[in-house]
Amino acid sequence: MLETVFTNHLLSWIVFTPVIGIIVLFFIPKEKTRVIQWTSVAFTFIALLFSAILLYQVSPNNPDIQLKEFAEWVHQFGIAYFMGVDGISVPLVVLTTLLSFLAAIASFSVKERIKEYYILYLLLVTGMLGVFVSLDLILFYFFWEVVLVPMYFLIGIWGGPRREYAAIKFFLYTLLGSVVMLLGILALFFKGGADTFNMLELGVRAKSFSLNFQIIVYLALFLGFAIKVPVFPFHTWLPDAHVEAPTAISVLLAGVLLKMGGYGILRVSYSIVPNGALWFALPLAVLGLINIVYGALVAMAQKDMKKLVAYSSVSHMGYVLLGIAALTYMGFNGAVLQMFNHGIITGALFLLVGVIYDRAHTRGIDDFGGLAKRMPIYAGIMSFSCLASLGLPGLSGFVGEFFSLIGAFKPSSVLNMDFAFKAIVIASATGIVITAGYFLWMLQRIFMGAENKKWNELRDISFREIFTVAPLMILMLAIGIWPRLLVDIMNPAIVKLVDYVSALAGGM
């Protein structure tokens, strides 16, 4: 009996476990910092366990939404507490819980106001998890907004020198996207003829929406998602937020928050306003190209390690956009793979940048040199992660990029834009070269070459730090060698979505 109560509401358990953690934390006196830290880690670990159970519970080969939970919330508007997952959301939920757990451990380096930090941290985790499992547009919006406030405080209080500026920029920028998204959502409710915010029902009625209506709604929603992904030119909040945020928060920002945007495009835009999405496919691909190449070029120019990794995030998310725009099985698979892999890899990179920053209190690439001699293990791990990020075959970064590019090289026939996409893919390939360039150059400047005597006393990477990065490295290797680990989970749902959108394109 207890089992059914539990398994029937697995998603709610996953989403609200951190809230239970918050309530527990309230009662712990703020002086007992160790207790607070380990309690928070425990709760994120419980959420991680639940998501492992989720992996086990979700039946493969089932393309539909599973593990649904439904309760009426605001009756007059048809707003419901409706949650469910499918192959696209499950990897992202697992990514969130894994990164939350590891970043909670990495947060041990936060030294002041620890209780408030972890309460806000757990609230952030709840918001992120809620976004990926919500199937009601208002519930989705609710969790989307819940992420904003803790993030503002986490960056603004515990961040770097320009934290206040970065925090308010992040808050206002993202809020602007969110409220425009809200208008799109409201338009769907009133003009959609469905009188509901239920994503599945709206998806079913997508055929009945006129093209113009879909385009307007798509653009409204896109602004909100584009700011999160982030899509050029709405990316300017990202470098500031990433650089100024504390290490663990950068991990979550890059690893999870950016994926909320990509997920939103897939789950909301492509499912509910597919004709609008199709209309925007070429511009989306072009924006992806700009992200890839522009992000890579700017990353090349960076002198701060964290900013370099931040711009590399902009660049990598471009592959996601490209894969989505292509509307092929391979493209979508590539996009979701890239989201997951980017989360893992960039999460690891931020953790590693944090390692050196904790010791040297600087992130300037040119400040270092010949570090491999002093910190050989760290050099090895950092190189491994950078190689994964630049897409070395055999590591997971390659898989996402490869699938996205190949998928986009032969885009869906309904788009009728073969030549344009081919040109875009060829142009994007230069991004790969530039990415390799800036990562290898960074590695060379930091780890090789003449030793900078200033850093003679640096300790190599500690056990706790290796512990936070190790699971990510294992995943990088495993998915790089055997991508089916993820693809088997994702593919049925992706096939269903692509087929659904392609079929609707016939009516365009």
Partner 1 sequence: MNIEINWQIIAPELALIAGAFLIFVLDLLLRKRVRYLHLPLALLTLAVSLWLVSTLGWSPQSTVSDSFFVDRTGIFFKFVIYLATFLILLLAEGYRPLAKYPLPELSGLILLAASAMSLMVSSKDLVLLYISIEFSSLVCYILAGYMRDDTYSAEAGLKYFLFGATASAIMLMGFALLFALSGGVTNLPAMGKALTENQVNPAATIIALGLVGVGLAYKVGAVPIHGWVPDTYQGAPTPITAFLSVSSKVAGIAVLLRIIIWLLPYDQTAMAPWTVILSFSAMASMIVGSTVGILQMNLKRLLAYSAIAHIGFVLIGIIAGMNYIPQSGNDFGKASVLIYAAGYLFMNLGAFAVVTMIGNATGGYEIKHYQGLAKRKPLLALLFTVFLLALAGIPPTVGFIAKFYVLAAAIRGNFIALAIVGILTSVVSLFLYVRVIKAMYLDKPGEEIAPAEKPIPAPSWAAVGLCLLGTLFWGIYPNPLIHFAKFCANNLNIPI
Contact residues toward partner 1 (CB under 8 A) are 73-77, 141-142, 145-146, 148-149, 152-153, 156-157, 163-164, 167-168, 171-172, 175-176, 179-180, 182-183, 186-187, 189-191
Write the DSSP symbol of residue 198: B
Instruction: Pick between residue 197 and residue 438 the one whose CB is nearest to partner 1.
Output: 197
Residue number, 117 or 421, with CB nearest to partner 1: 117
Q: How far is the CB of 187 from partner 1 (least distance, A)?
A: 6
CB of 113 to partner 1, least distance (A): 9
Residue showing tokens 């592959």: 319
Gyration radius of the chain over CA positions: 22
Three-state secondary structure call for residue 85: strand
Q: Rounded to the nearest 5°, which phi and psi values hold at 85?
A: -130, 160
| Number of other CB atoms surrounding residue 186 within 10 Å | 18
Smaller CB separation from partner 1, 142 or 357: 142
CA distance 302 to 309: 9
65 vs 122 by CB, closer to partner 1: 122
Q: Shortest Cβ distance from residue 138 to partner 1 (Å)?
A: 8
Tell me, rounded to whole angstroms, the distance of Cα 140 from its chain centroid. Answer: 16
Beta bridge partners of 136: 198
Structure tokens at 202: 């709206």
Give 367's contacts (C-beta < 8 A, 6+ positions apart).
360, 452, 454
- Comparing CB distances to partner 1, the nearer of 164 and 451 is 164
Work out the burial of residue 223: count CB atoms within 10 Å of its CB; fewer than 13 is exposed, 13-18 middle, 19 or more buried.
buried
Task: Please check whether residue 414 is in contact with residue 505, taking contact to mean a CB–CB distance below 8 angstroms.
Answer: yes
Longest dimension (CA), the chain: 70
Q: Is the peptide bond before 230 cis (omega within 30 degrees of 0)?
A: yes
DSSP-based three-state secondary structure for 162: coil
Q: Does residue 313 contact residue 346 with C-beta atoms inside 8 Å?
A: yes
Helix (H), strand (E) at residue 346: helix 329-360
CB of 196 to partner 1, least distance (A): 13
Q: What is the rounded CA–CA span in Å between residue 257 and residue 167? A: 15
Which one, 224 or 397, has the nearer CB to partner 1? Answer: 224
Tokens coding 330 = 């391979």
341 neighbors 348 (Cβ within 8 angstroms) = no
**Minimum distance from CB of 181 to partner 1 (Å)?**
10
* 27 vs 190, beta carbon nearer partner 1: 190
Selection from 258, 271, 191 nearest residue 229 by Cα: 258
Which CB, 160 or 370, lies closer to partner 1? 160
- Residue 231: left (phi > 0), alpha (psi -120 to 50), or beta? beta
The nearer residue to partner 1, 156 or 264, going by C-beta atoms, is 156
Identify which of residues 55 and 183 has a Cβ nearer to partner 1 in the complex: 183
CB of 371 to partner 1, least distance (A): 34
Q: Which is nearer to partner 1, 170 or 455 (CB)?
A: 170
CB distance 445 to 302 below 8 Å: no
